[in-house]
Structure 1
Amino acid sequence: MARRMEVSEKGGMSVKEAGRKGGQATSKSHDRKFYEEIGHKGGVKGGQRVRELIQKGKEAERK
């Protein structure tokens, strides 16, 4: 099944286009350090934090 692009009625921009445009604007106004900092969540890399939260959720379901 083919996906259809969601296009805003106001501006005619798809979500993909808006994300790309926003990402480009962010990259112009922020440096590498910014991206390194947002890649970490509370001192733990984002993927590791998600794994921890999933594990806690599974433990809570067992109780």
Structure 2
Amino acid sequence: MAQHDGKMSREEAGRMGGEATARTHDREFYQEIGAKGGKSRGDERRDDGKMSREEAGRLGGEARARQRDR
């Protein structure tokens, strides 16, 4: 485990959080958040009008985080 001054690094925390989420959610969950992100951020599309998987996943995660903050 990567620690600095007794604290967990952002990278380590992100990895652990991702693993915990993966244990509690299925493929459908990830598809849903990816679709939500794609719908809410349609302005960030590539020139050909399609969004990469990485971009859709990132945007879906951001959309889900905003929902949790409410």
Scaled to the shorter chain, the TM-score interval is 0.5 to 0.7
CA–CA distance in 2 between the matches of 1:26 and 1:35?
10
TM, length-normalised to structure 1: 0.52
Q: Residue 29 of structure 2 aligns with which residue?
A: 34
Deviations 1:7-61 (A, max 9, x none): 5x6x5100000000000000000000000000012xx726x62427xxxxxxxxx
Higher relative contact order (CA 8 A, sep 6+): 2
Same amino acid, percent of matched pairs:
49
Unaligned runs of 5+ in 2: 46-70
Report the TM-score when normalising by structure 2.
0.47
- Max radius of gyration: which structure? 1
Report what 2:15 is aligned to.
20
Letter in 2 for 1:40: A
Task: Give structure 1 stretches of 5+ with no counterpart.
Answer: 1-6, 53-63
From the two aligned structures, give the one with the greater helix fraction: 2
**What is the RMSD of the two structures over their aligned residues, measured on CA atoms?**
2.8
